Amino acid sequence: MIQASGLHKAFGAQPVLKGVDLSLPKGKVLVIIGPSGSGKTTLLRCLNLLEVPDAGSLRLGDAELRFQEGIKLRGKDVRSLRKRTGMVFQSFNLFPHMTALNNVVEAQVTVQRKSRGDAERRARELLDKVGLADRADFYPHKLSGGQQQRVAIARAMAMDPEVLLFDEPTSALDPELAAEVLKVIKQLAAEGMTMVIVTHLMKFAADVADHVILMDEGVIIEEGAPRDVFSNPKSARTAQFLNILA
């Protein structure tokens, strides 16, 4: 489903990704962990071209792009790749002037050109799935952070993405509210949604991941099945990182 090879990204003179390879089969969950500043968010944002890599290649389903510094991508190619992904941000990013329902309806009508009726039906289904059927008419400021994040997940799902990307989806939430978001993500995993998740919650990572990668200073220093990475790390650096968190 996702195949990235040799991804490089620098911001000015600072290299942030220094040759990252990853692949993820359909229906699997990849979790990215690592210290702050190691390039996790940048890697995730490269997967839907919110950041354009300087070098390397990326395939998502049957859309493939190669990156080369100084060569601009065609808008059509960017859109073709990006529409296969849905992104859930740390800070929810709901449209504040729209109800929960309309947040989920909006892009279905404007981007997918669905009728209002069809979009609403799908939005209600998705709000039900994330446990918010009774909050459809609430504005974001009347919802808890956990509820807002669940609306954001429903909104991302409404675009029928082939892969969902999560950037620290619970880091702005108290543990209790985080738990309701994690439950929804686990449910999506059980249903076979392909997902890439950046998180610092190691227990959640161990629970939900099929594959874990540990980033440090712009490279993957360790990867594998969660039980191997967490219980039997190969490198001293991984052990040190996991110890700091334990």
d(CA 37, CA 242) in angstroms, rounded, equals: 16
Helix ranges, 25-115 (H): 40-47, 75-82, 100-110
Q: Shortest Cβ distance from residue 190 to ligand ADP (Å)?
A: 27
Q: Does 13 help bind ligand ADP (rule: CB under 6 A)?
A: no
* Identity of the residue, 19 or 131, whose beta carbon is nearer to ligand ADP in the bound complex: 19
Nearer to ligand ADP, 38 or 48 (CB): 38
Q: Token pair for residue 72?
A: 């601009």
Q: Name the residue nearer to ligand ADP (CB basis): 42 or 102.
A: 42
User: Does residue 243 touch ligand ADP according to CB under 6 A?
Assistant: no
Residue 18's identity, in one-letter code, is: K
**Residue 209 contacts residue 219 (beta carbons within 8 Å):** no
| Least distance between ligand ADP and beta carbon 35 (Å) | 7
Footprint of ligand ADP on 203-232 (CB under 6 A): none
Q: How far apart are CA 241 and CA 246, in angstroms?
A: 9
Draw the binding track, 22-51, toward ligand ADP (x: CB under 6 A; -: no contact): ------------x-xxxxxxx---------
d(CA 219, CA 232): 20
Residues forming contacts to ligand ADP in the complex (CB under 6 A) are: 11, 16, 34, 36-42
